[in-house]
Amino acid sequence: MNQNLFDMLGGLRTGGEAVCFVLPDGRTISYRALIARSSQFANALVAAGVSPGDRVAVQIEKSWESIALYLATIRAGAVFLPLNTAYTPAEVSYFLSDAEPRIFVCDPARESSLAESSHDARIMTMSAAGAGSLPAMADTASREFATVERSGDDLAAILYTSGTTGRSKGAMLTHSNLASNAKTLVTAWQFTKADRLIHALPIFHTHGLFVACNVTLACGSSMIFLPGFSVDEIFRFLPEATCLMGVPTFYTRLLQDSRLNREATAGIRLFVSGSAPLLAETHDEWRARTGHAILERYGMSETNMNTSNPYEGERIAGTVGLPLPGVTIRITDLSTGEVKGVGEVGAIEVAGPNVFSGYWRMPEKTAAEFRGEFFNTGDVGVIDQRGYVSIVGRTKDLIISGGYNIYPKEVESEIDALEGVMESAVIGLPHPDFGEAVTAVVVLKPGCALTEEFIKQELSQRLARFKVPKRISFVKELPRNVMGKVQKNVLRESATQIGT
């Protein structure tokens, strides 16, 4: 049987006239129309020289047609390579020189500025409104396309990791990585054709593309496809939806709006959060205001989704839940690699059909991150008696001060628990005596005026001396990337520059 992801996403086969996309202007796009458009794009890609195994890189605005292009690439047996729309021409140049795609699709407005970034790739264009050389070519192409035969181990996509340290690496995902994870999530989260998801995430990332879209396409449900996150648009569509998938910032922003209450969320059966830690406080406030317990899950570009709080059963705030069926998680010692027991903190390693096949053209880096079938996620965490996983930070964010290991999350949780604190980020900065000095960057709630001395004093009653920040600075907001992740590298850089 053809293991091509397109054939494995069952909802695509059975969708027919059912609605797949609801657009903000009220138009709807059926499964039949999506498949026909993907055939046209696939024919256009083949005519433009794409063969199985070739990479097709895209840096385009979100639209339903960009999902048709994703499916077209997969159907042609090629490898889909989505790029963050915020990347500059210099960054794009690196990705394209590394991945050597056959085709690079960009927005028509950026074509000239990206001309020199494309290397040997043929540049084609496509706008969110469906204009450009690729859609024009597709318009005249056949609405039929025979999906290319692929094995489960063939590559379907490459996602470049955000690369906050060193060069960005291309995570190679196979057809079966993506198909198996979509199937697992449909079952775990009880998705059916009747679901309607509010899709307000970007589609160049695992969350918006492989979780949100693949789950929808796997079960034949529909999505309200928004160009981005807007509080007003979410409130407009909540009454028509059954599910929202978001990053924690979606939830904190919605909580700031007085329209958020039980009535506004009455039709929703599932709120999912991921990509960055959801504060326990946000979880609790959300539950108090709406009656819903947000389901937090944990995954990454390299592995798709690893763990999820249960659909039925207790969703525990501050944890990322249990390993998904078929996924094995173990915690290992950060220096010796020895497998740790319940309640012991260490490196999170993961094995399963979801785990990628390696970094593109980086065999040494790949070998360094795998031990047998286990991939070292770079996250540090702990598993409790009941099997729930909690993440305490990234290995690279671990602070070593005076020979002691400090997990930023532990210090952040104590700071966040102080009355008047909105949130915080704890980082290590170079220090002549200690190696690194624990440093906190704190955001206060409006109207609150805590001092550095006060916070230090409070913390010294709760934390061992070596964990208490040596310096605390205050900012209006923490720097976050588009997926809501706090950019600790940015904090480290700016703090070093101002000599904090």
Q: How far apart are CA 81 and CA 89, in angstroms?
A: 16
What is the closest distance, in whole angstroms, from the C-beta atom of residue 1 to ligand AMP in the complex?
A: 30
* CA separation, residue 95 to residues 32, 175, 330, 383 (Å): 34, 22, 32, 36
Of 32-40, 50-58, 226-234, 275-283, the segment contacting ligand AMP by CB under 6 A is 275-283
CB 308 within 8 A of CB 189: yes
Residue 391 interacting with ligand AMP (CB under 6 A):
yes
Burial of 106 (0-12, 13-18, 19+ CB in 10 A): buried
Kindly tell me which residue out of 198, 270, 320, 345 binds ligand AMP, with binding defined by CB under 6 A.
Answer: 320
Using CB under 6 A as the binding rule, whether residue 221 contacts ligand AMP is answered as no
Q: Is the Cα torsion angle 320, 290, 409, 212 positive or negative in sign?
A: positive
Strand order of the β-sheet with 28-30 is 28-30, 19-22, 222-225, 196-199, 243-246, 270-273, 295-300, 304-308, 322-323
Is the CB of residue 347 less than 8 Å from the CB of residue 332?
yes
Applying CB under 6 A, the span of 3-11, 39-47, 177-185, 299-307 interacting with ligand AMP comes to 299-307
From candidates 58, 60, 67, 300, binder to ligand AMP by CB under 6 A: 300
Q: Closest separation between CB of residue 207 and ligand AMP, Å?
A: 7
Please say which residue, 274 or 469, places its beta carbon nearer to ligand AMP: 274
Shortest CA distance to 119 belongs to which of 163, 76, 89, 162? 89
> Within 13 Å of residue 327, how many CA atoms lie on the same side as its CB?
29
Shortest Cβ distance from residue 394 to ligand AMP (Å)? 5
294 touches ligand AMP (CB under 6 A): no
Query: Which amino acid belongs to residue 48?
Result: A
Q: Which helix or strand (DSSP H or E) is residue 95 part of?
A: helix 89-99
Tokens of 21: 């996309």
Does 298 bind ligand AMP (CB under 6 A)? Our answer is yes
Q: Which stretch binds ligand AMP (CB under 6 A): 235-243, 270-278, 326-334, 459-467?
A: 270-278
- Nearest CB to ligand AMP, comparing residues 377 and 413: 377
Per rule CB under 6 A, is residue 164 in the interface with ligand AMP?
A: no
Shortest spacing between CB 184 and ligand AMP, in angstroms:
16
Angle between helices 280-290 and 248-255 (to 10 degrees): 50
Alpha-carbon span 112 to 129, nearest angstrom: 19
Q: Which range of residues in 73-81, 146-154, 212-220, 293-301 is near ligand AMP by CB under 6 A? A: 293-301
Question: Which region among 29-37, 116-124, 228-236, 297-305 touches ligand AMP (by CB under 6 A)?
Answer: 297-305
Please report, as residue ranges, which positions from 15 to 74 form the binding site for ligand AMP (by CB under 6 A). none
CB of 280 to ligand AMP, least distance (A): 12
325-384 residues near ligand AMP, rule: CB under 6 A: 377, 379
User: Contact at 8 Å (CB) between 431 and 492?
Assistant: no
Q: Please, which residue, 122 or 394, has the CB nearer to ligand AMP?
A: 394
Phi-psi region for residue 257, left (φ > 0), alpha (ψ -120 to 50) or beta?
beta
Q: How far is the CB of 404 from ligand AMP (least distance, A)?
A: 22
Q: Rounded to the nearest whole angstrom, what is the least distance from the CB of residue 41 to ligand AMP in the complex? A: 26
Q: Which residue has the tokens 């915690």?
A: 331
Classify the phi-psi angles of 393: left when phi > 0, otherwise alpha if psi is within -120 to 50, otherwise beta. Answer: left
Among 253, 287, 371, 394, binds ligand AMP (CB under 6 A): 394
Shortest reach from residue 429's CB to ligand AMP, in Å: 21
Structure tokens belonging to residue 378? 């770079």
Question: Of residues 264, 276, 280, 293, which one binds ligand AMP by CB under 6 A?
Answer: 276
Please say which residue, 394 or 470, places its beta carbon nearer to ligand AMP.
394
Residue type, 203: I
Inter-residue contact 447 to 425 (CB < 8 Å): no
Residues between 91 and 110 that touch ligand AMP (CB under 6 A): none
Instruction: Please report the beta strands in 302-369, taking only residues with DSSP state E, as ranges in sequence order.
Output: 304-308, 322-323, 328-332, 346-351
- Residues present in the chain in total: 500
Q: How far is CA 199 from CA 155, 216, 287, in A?
A: 26, 10, 21
* Per CB under 6 A, 161 contacts ligand AMP: yes
Site string for ligand AMP, 120-159 (x = CB under 6 A): ----------------------------------------
Nearer to ligand AMP, 296 or 458 (CB): 296
User: Which one among 11, 246, 274, 484 touches ligand AMP, defined by CB under 6 A?
Assistant: 274
CA distance 449 to 469: 18
CA distance 260 to 205: 27
**Could you report how far apart the first and last alpha carbons of the chain are, in Å?**
60
Minimum Å gap between C-beta 27 and ligand AMP is 31
For position 206 contacting ligand AMP by CB under 6 A, the verdict is yes
Under the criterion CB under 6 A, does residue 395 sit at the interface with ligand AMP?
A: no
Q: Would you count residue 469 as binding ligand AMP (CB under 6 A)?
A: no
**How many whole angstroms separate alpha carbon 70 and alpha carbon 52?**
14
Size of the site for ligand AMP (CB under 6 A): 18
Using CB under 6 A, list all residues that contact ligand AMP.
161-162, 206, 274-277, 296, 298-301, 320, 377, 379, 391, 394, 483
